[in-house]
Structure 1
Amino acid sequence: MAAIGRYLKKHTESLVKDVGIEQACQITGKSKATLGRYYSDHDEHSDRYMPIETVALLEQAANYPHVTGALAELSGSSLQYDERRPNEERPGGVNADVIALSQRFAMLMGEYQQSMEDGKITVNEAKRLLRETGLLQQVLIDMKLHLENDHGTA
């Protein structure tokens, strides 16, 4: 088995153990044996990997997106994990998103104005600006998800 395969199986096992095998079976509708095959390093299971929709279901219940994180690392990317679970349904829909967007943009502009008072952006100021832009981006993603869910587009 290639190193990438072993790496993904290791993180698949971490995902299942994070959720708990019994709960993982309930969430996915798969047996313990089937879930075990997805992370088994035995030769007869070397070409079996967890389907992506199963990964998505388990990562919603997990404390951390283990498989998604592993895939990001393998591609040279990184994850910014948002513990507030943005994919959960939030009340208010698009209207609440527009208000949150306005508030987040105001926060970003406030940080920018404060950072530029001396004419340069320091490392700490850049970190605060990056944090605010990430939060603004998350509001846009939430808004996109609400629009897709409310209007049936994808």
Structure 2
Amino acid sequence: MTIRPYGIIETYGDVSLTEAAIEDQCGALDVNGYLKKHTEALVKDVGIEAACKLTGKSKATLGRYYSMDDDHSDRFMPVDAVAALEAAASYPHVTAALAELRGVSVSGEEMTRRNSKGGINSDVITLSQRFAMLMAEYNLSIDDGVISINEAKRLLRETLELQKILVEMKLHLEEEAG
């Protein structure tokens, strides 16, 4: 998506996105970078080798989907590939990013239920992944030297997700301790 002067950025069917609308929704005009970072997080969550098998794409092709290089700025992962990877991932990275851009959030209830059977080891893995997501979000937010209100809200959501995982972890530890 390229920002054009004076308003409309892209038109999708009946929906036109403007600079103001995007800034209101995500607190930044770099929608491409935001989506590419979440695409990269998705591929790394699944693992590059597994991602290649699940999508039928090469490592180079997957890399182009999240490359910030100008040559690949207009390349994004197809929806079917995102769906295949998110089915295998611990978190729906791209879906959550798209929801965030729209101003809604993805519930973590299913993820919590899925991990509640895994015990403490599963909790530690999930905790480290969510912490990495928090740090990635922080890095993206502080890039311009200022954390906007919308960026602070996203950081708060990530922090709340970490808190939920810690509660699950506490429950598993109490269960194991008897």
TM-score (norm. length: structure 1): 0.53
Identity of aligned residues (%): 67
- Distance in 2 (CA, whole Å) between partners of 1:25 and 1:78 is 28
- Distance in 2 (CA, whole Å) between partners of 1:19 and 1:52 is 16
Q: Which residue of 2 aligns with 1:13?
A: 40
Q: Which residue of 2 aligns with 1:30?
A: 57
User: C-alpha deviations, 1:100-143, integer Å up to 9, x for none?
Assistant: xxxxxxxxxxxxxxxxxxxxxxxxxxxxxxxxxxxxxxxxxxxx
Whether 1:58 and 2:85 are equivalent positions in the alignment is yes
SS state at 1:25 partner:
helix
- Taking only aligned residues, the RMSD between alpha carbons, in angstroms, comes to 1.3
Aligned-residue offset at 1:56: 0.2
Give the ranges of 4+ consecutive aligned residues of structure 1 lying more than 3 Å apart after TM superposition. Answer: none
The amino acid of 2:80's aligned partner reads E
TM-score (norm. length: structure 2): 0.46
The amino acid of 2:57's aligned partner reads K
- Distance in 1 (CA, whole Å) between partners of 2:53 and 2:80 is 14
The amino acid of 1:12's aligned partner reads T
- Distance in 2 (CA, whole Å) between partners of 1:34 and 1:74 is 25
Matching residue within 76, 84, 102 for 1:75:
102
The amino acid of 2:93's aligned partner reads H
SS state at 2:77 partner:
coil
**Gapped regions of structure 2 (runs ≥ 5):** 3-28, 115-178
The amino acid of 1:11's aligned partner reads H
Larger-Rg structure: 1
Aligned-residue offset at 1:59: 0.1
Matching residue within 63, 68, 71 for 1:44:
71
SS state at 2:53 partner:
helix
Aligned-residue offset at 1:21: 0.1
Q: What is the count of residue pairs matched by the alignment?
A: 85
- Distance in 2 (CA, whole Å) between partners of 1:79 and 1:32 is 28
Task: Give runs of aligned pairs for residues 124-135 of structure 1, distance below 5 A.
Answer: none
Aligned-residue offset at 1:55: 0.3
- Distance in 2 (CA, whole Å) between partners of 1:22 and 1:78 is 29
The amino acid of 1:39's aligned partner reads Y
- Distance in 2 (CA, whole Å) between partners of 1:35 and 1:23 is 11
